[in-house]
Structure formats: C-alpha cells, structure tokens
Amino acid sequence: MILRCAVVLAIMVILSALRPAAADGALRAVVDPRVDFLAAVARNAGFEEYRSPQAASPYAGRVDALLKPHLAHPAFDRMRAMRKDRGLSYDAVMSLAVHVTDPPGLAERVDFAASPARLDRRLVPDETRALLVQLRDLATVCGWAAFWTRERPVHDAGAAQLAAAVGKHDLVAWYERALGVRPGADYVLVAGLLTGENNFGVGVDFPDGRTPEIRPVIGCGAWDAQGMPVYTATDGLTGLVAHELCHSFANPVVDRNLEALRPAGERPFAISADRMRAQAYGDWKTTMYETLVRACTVRCLAEQVGDEAAAMRAQNDAARGFLWVPALADALARPLHDHPAGQTLDTLVPTIAETLGREATRIEQEDAKRPKLTETVPADGARDVAPGPIELVLRFDRPMRTDSYSVTGSKDNVPAGLKLKEVRDDGRTFVFTGTVEAGRAYVVGINGGGRSGFRTAEGVAALPVQVRFTTRAK
C-alpha cells in the first residue's frame, strides 16, 4: 500500500528584532561566578543535566581543563553523595549558587539553618555547610578567581548578547501589573554559560527585609566560530525568560494556598505523573508551580508578543503533558488583563482550582478512549544518540490509521529529511527515517500545532506529545 501523507513541519521559530539599546528599566544580564563555579563542579562530578551536548563549548572545555587535575578532590564525592541521598540536581545546584557569595569565599548570604524561603529544600543545612567547606578549598586550589579574570571577554559577550536578545519586551512590568506579587524586587538575568539547554528560575528572599533578588539562569546552547556565546532574539527566548521570571511570582502563591489548591493539583498530577517525573516535577506541588507559571507565561506572551506566540506556547505545554494549561490560560485571560494594581494573584485561586478540577474531569473521561504512545526509539530524553542516519520508531497501544499521521516541529529541531519508511503491527508501529547531526538537540512533535493525523480507525486522535533527544558530540 502506498501511504499518501507527508510529514508536516510546522515552522515554529519567529524571530524578533534586536533592540538597538537598552531602555530604562530593561532587564540587566550578567555572567555570575557563583553560577558558573557550581555548574562547573556539577558537570565534573558527572551530573548529566550539566553535561549535555548543548553545554559543550570552548569555554566549557577550558573549565574542564582547569578542574581536571583536581577530580579526586572530596568536593566531587560529596556532590555525588548529596545527589544520591538528597536528590541534589538541576535547580538545587543553582539555588545554592545564588545563596552564597562569590568563590572562593562561598559564605552564606542568609542563615541556612533558618530555612530561607527560596533555598531549595534538598539543601539540608549541615550537609550543605560541609559541602561549602570543601567547595571553598576546591575554588582556591584550582585557581578559580584567576581563571574568572582571564575569561572576562567571554563573560562580557554573553551578558551583552542575553540583554540585547530579551530587550524588546518589558516582561517585569507586565508581571508586576498583572500578578502584583513581587513589585520592587531586583531582577537580573544570569547567562548560564555552562547549563546548556537548562534554565532555572532561582532567587533569594532576605528575612531582614532587604530587596528580594530574582536571578533566572538562562542557558546558552550556541557559540560562534570565535568561541563566544550567542543568544538570538526569538519569541522562544522571550517565552523562556518570561517563564523563569514568573516562578518568583507564581511559586509564592502556590505556597500560600497549598490546602486550597491541593485537590485541584493532585488530580492533574496523577493523570500525567510519569511524564511529570520524567521532567523532574516529582510531586503535585512542583507540578502546580509549573502549571501556574506556564499559564501565566501564555498570558504574558499574548499581551507582550502576540496571540500566535501564546498559542504556540500553550500547545507546547500540552505536548509536554500539561494538558490542562491551555484551558487555565484561557480562564486567566480576562482576570489578568483587568487585574487591579496592587492586587495579588491569590484572589484568583478559586478560579484556578475550579478550572483545574474541570479539566481533570474532562481529561479523565477522554483518556480511556484515546490512543497512547507507549514507546519511542530513541527514547524521550535520550542523550547519547549516534549522529548520522536514524530510525525514529513510534509505538502505540492500539491500531492506528495507516493513511494519516502528523509529525511536527521546527525545521531546526527535526531530523533532516524525516519521512515515513513503514507501518508495522497492524498500525501500532510507525517507522520514520532521517539524519541527525552530532551534538544537537532534537524535538519531534506527535500531533499538535493544529494537526492530529495520528488517530484510531474510529477517528480518536492521540494527544500531542514531544519526543526530545540529543546526539553525541563527535
């Protein structure tokens, strides 16, 4: 049988013009020695999230060369032990970075024993203080301060690139008007030159009333021929910065309203628990943080960038398992647009809870009828895919129509020449072929973007999902 379908490549990257000069009140950007030092230690301790192909660069190579003679230092063993025993990973590492002074001092900026509001709970005080003793010694013996001075041209370039790339939209002003939670905070973007595709919404609250610090870490995954970091002004980057900024507004709302939000939060988490955990959202509260952040980010993009960028963001959220985010974003559209100045997001908790409860019921009712993607090759999240020709295999839990399918994604993130090779197992297994390059991240959408070609014979479409994998560097 000849299949009469083509792969749909929805071009999802919309470029925005660089701002020629920073306006008053525009977001500042820096490269932070604390962030890079902790990221450097994590990557050399073997933390895979800090060793992705997107984190590779000439700069990372020099960092690794600096630390290579010291890999037997006990700081690395303690980092690995805290990862095993406490789950030290991802944003917990960055949370520690912004709560201490610059290396080699690494002194507590707030008393860890007092459970600072924004210090990650995986950072148990006594263990973390013992780690800091070893990190101070490591920073001294490896000569981190001198290295940092030598690398200033790279740092200056990264900060300037990031500031210019996000300078077009006044995201902070929108959040302070619409959400009204953190007016007067100090907002500075941190260029994460060693975090690759990972981004972290971290910051510091001071119990003595000092100005709160909001320090989103925005990963750098592109470098030019001269070995300098590159940030490009796109709607995707704007959405990313908006997302990370929003954590400082939305997370405290969840914390203040835990019991009111618990019933509404536990049901969506149960629906997508496996997919949430695979993305390091291990419980309903963390998932609720992400839910509220994602819905508010959609609203921010709608008003700051445009409806197309907002719709794309909502579709991507649904494809990552946040099936309820588009409806929540719609429910918040009018209230956030008309939000009285100074009124906090807490007043919308009943609307949030009602919407999530309604969405959970809808998803639960539809779930039994809907086909599910049970396995992919490469697996979602794979980090060591060989470059060159590739087979993308999609397996469903029931027979699907064999004359229709929808594979979506950006032309920059889908394997080159992706096409359907064959359908097996009475329509349960689809095999595509293409080519992937070394050291690249790929994102392949299954349905989504208004396309729903993967469907059962009865016409029930599979939910949009995304398969993400990275290839090995040569």
Q: Residues 411-441: pLDDT tens digits?
A: 778 999 999 999 999 899 999 999 999 988 8
Least confident of 2-11, 19-28, 125-134, 372-381: 2-11
Average pLDDT in the chain: 89
Return the SS3 of 349. Answer: helix
| Residue 107, phi then psi, degrees to nearest 5 | -85, 150
pLDDT category, 410, cuts 50, 70, 90? confident
Q: What is the pLDDT of residue 439?
A: 83
Neighbouring CB atoms inside 10 A of 53's CB total: 21
Task: Single out the residue of 466, 350, 376 nearest to residue 428, CA to CA.
Answer: 376
Residue 237 predicted with pLDDT over 90: yes
Q: What are the distances in angstroms from CA 390 to CA 186, 361, 437, 464?
A: 47, 39, 10, 22
CA 388/CA 393 separation, integer angstroms: 16
Q: What is the pLDDT of residue 449?
A: 67
SS3 of 181-217: CCCCCEEEEEEECCCCCCCEEEEECCCCCCCCEEEEE
pLDDT category, 357, cuts 50, 70, 90? very high
pLDDT category, 13, cuts 50, 70, 90? very low
CA 191/CA 83 separation, integer angstroms: 24
* Residue type, position 47, single letter: F
Residue 432 parent element (H or E): strand 429-436
Q: What is the pLDDT of residue 252?
A: 87
> pLDDT tens for residues 78-91?
999 999 999 999 99
Residue 20 predicted with pLDDT over 50: no
For residues 3-21, give the mean pLDDT.
31
Return the SS3 of 179. Answer: coil
Which region, left, alpha or beta, applies to residue 450 given φ > 0 means left and ψ of -120 to 50 means alpha?
left
Least confident of 25-29, 52-56, 83-87, 346-350: 25-29
Residue 18 predicted with pLDDT over 50: no
Pairing mode of beta strands 200-204, 441-446: unpaired
CA 392/CA 403 separation, integer angstroms: 18
Question: Which residue did the predictor score with more confidence, 442 or 7?
Answer: 442
| Residue 331, phi then psi, degrees to nearest 5 | -65, -30
State pTM to two decimals: 0.72
DSSP letter (8 states) at residue 129: H
Q: Could you give the domains of the chain?
A: 31-219 (no CATH), 238-367 (no CATH), 373-470 (2.60.40.1220)
For residues 372-400, give the mean pLDDT.
93
pLDDT category, 23, cuts 50, 70, 90? very low
